[in-house]
């Protein structure tokens, strides 16, 4: 590959590079845009379609339609996030702390189920070992 010299700082670099590593000067001229974009044509504003505009007004409880106006406003239910609920005190949340009996009532059942399952697995393994031992010593 050939090398070329930067006309601004004199740095020598590969001719495949588009910019000088020394000063950042572009070796290739940028292509200039010849057509005007839709955004530039709209005076740098966002154009909303009629449906989107009416929906936005509806969300604010407004209407510009010629027909009958809505008298009631939609009420959206807002559910606070976990972080907001954690930041609120129990008095603000109107939530009573869990009682130990409800949490501990479920836990022993799960522990007993786990113990029974493990015991069944152990018994099954002992039976398999006994059968294997009996076949080996025959």
pLDDT digits 0-9 by tens, 31-89: 777 787 777 777 767 766 777 778 888 888 887 665 555 555 556 666 666 666 666 65
pLDDT of residue 94: 58
Domain annotation covers residue 1: yes
Identify the weakest region by mean pLDDT among 3-7, 18-22, 30-34.
30-34
The answer to whether the CB of 73 falls within 8 A of the CB of 61 is: yes
| Residue-range definition of the domain harbouring residue 19 | 1-29
pLDDT digits 0-9 by tens, 77-95: 666 666 666 666 555 555 5
pLDDT of residue 70: 53
pLDDT of residue 71: 56
Domain annotation covers residue 8: yes
Domain annotation covers residue 9: yes
Number of domains in the chain: 1
Identify the weakest region by mean pLDDT among 5-9, 61-65, 87-91, 121-125.
87-91
> Buried b / exposed e across 22-53, counting CB within 10 Å, b at 16+?
eeeeeeeeeeeeeeeeeeeeeeeeeeeeeeee
Strand locations in the chain (E):
3-5, 12-14
Domain annotation covers residue 71: no
Position 115 confidence tier, pLDDT thresholds 50, 70, 90: very high
The answer to whether the CB of 54 falls within 8 A of the CB of 65 is: yes
Domain annotation covers residue 16: yes
């Amino acid at each position: 590959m050939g090398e070329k010299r930067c006309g601004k700082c004199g740095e020598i670099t590969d001719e495949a590079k588009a910019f000088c590593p020394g000063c950042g000067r572009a070796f290739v001229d940028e292509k200039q845009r010849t057509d005007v974009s839709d955004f530039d044509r709209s005076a740098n504003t966002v154009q909303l379609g009629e449906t989107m505009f009416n929906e936005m007004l509806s969300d604010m409880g407004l209407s510009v339609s010629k027909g009958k106006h809505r008298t009631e406003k939609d009420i959206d239910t807002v559910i606070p996030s976990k972080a907001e609920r954690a930041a609120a005190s129990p008095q603000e949340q109107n939530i009573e702390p869990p009682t130990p009996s409800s949490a501990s009532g479920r836990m022993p059942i799960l522990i007993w189920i786990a113990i029974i399952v493990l015991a069944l697995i152990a018994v099954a393994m002992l039976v398999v070992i006994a059968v294997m031992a009996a076949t080996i010593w025959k």
